[in-house]
Amino acid sequence: MIQVKQKLERIGGKYGHVIRTFIIDSQGILEKEGEEYRDRRMFIFEKDGATIKVREGGWFGKITQLFLGEGVSPTTFRDPEGFLQFLFYID
């Protein structure tokens, strides 16, 4: 069974306006934008465990970035807290 987690980024505290939503499952993390919930980008953890592909607009979008693990395995960023640290680093 695939376990899906969701993290929200809000402005103004716990009940503030949602600006980004991250949907996290075993294959990747989808970033959705704003109240209209539009797909912004998809972070795909490749099965080889050594790369993360970033696709614009979701699963089938154009590849905009490719991260290769050197010294640190990209699988480190699969959990929500690790991913948010990774996102802070690349944004």
| pLDDT tens digits, one per residue of 15-47 | 888 899 988 887 889 999 987 788 999 999 887
* 22-26, 46-50, 56-60, 70-74: segment of lowest average pLDDT: 70-74
Query: How high is the pLDDT of residue 61?
Result: 92
Looking at residue 54, its pLDDT comes to 93
Angstrom distance (rounded) from CA 40 to CA 21: 10
Question: What's the CA gap between 73 and 77, in Å, rounded?
Answer: 8
H-helix or E-strand spanning residue 81 = helix 80-90
pTM of the model: 0.80
pLDDT of residue 2: 60
Single out the residue of 2, 84, 1, 8 nearest to residue 43, CA to CA.
Answer: 84
The rounded Cα 80 to chain-centroid distance in angstroms is: 9
* Residue 88 near residue 68, CB atoms below 8 Å: no
